[in-house]
Amino acid sequence: MKKQSFKMPKKIKAAEARIKFGEVIDTARYAHNQYLVTKAGKPMVVILGIEDYKDMIDMIDTMAEQLDPKFQEELKTSRKEYEEKKVGTIEDIYKILRRKEKSLA
């Protein structure tokens, strides 16, 4: 996931958004612009590009995991096991796989 920079959405009236819809969706998608569409001065919808939307959902999922007590407990357990050398590193796994590969050759 790329580093997300949050900027305030550009306010645009619904009538203007309707007239410039092609431009709005293009700049939302390719320039990462975000729009807050208003109607009678009230916020109605937000328009953002699909990649920005996916990044936002990923960020929300990550935050939800971090707030989950079970996840935090598993993280503490994993860290303790790692510090006690009860689990290996990715390099250890690669070494094991290379050894198995050589023994099969």
For residue range 22-74, what is the model confidence (pLDDT) as tens digits?
Answer: 999 999 999 999 999 999 999 999 999 999 999 999 999 999 988 889 988 98
Strand order in the sheet with 42-47: 10-13, 35-39, 42-47
What pLDDT does 32 receive? 94
C-beta separation of 28 from 35 below 8 A: yes
pLDDT over threshold 60, residue 1: no
Q: Tell me the fold of 7-49.
A: YefM-like fold (3.40.1620)
pLDDT over threshold 70, residue 3: no
What pLDDT does 20 receive? 98
Q: Which of 9, 89, 101 is nearest to 49 (CA)?
A: 9
Listed by start position, the domains of the chain span 7-49
pLDDT over threshold 80, residue 4: no
DSSP 8: P
C-beta separation of 37 from 45 below 8 A: yes
Does this model's pTM top 0.85? My answer is no
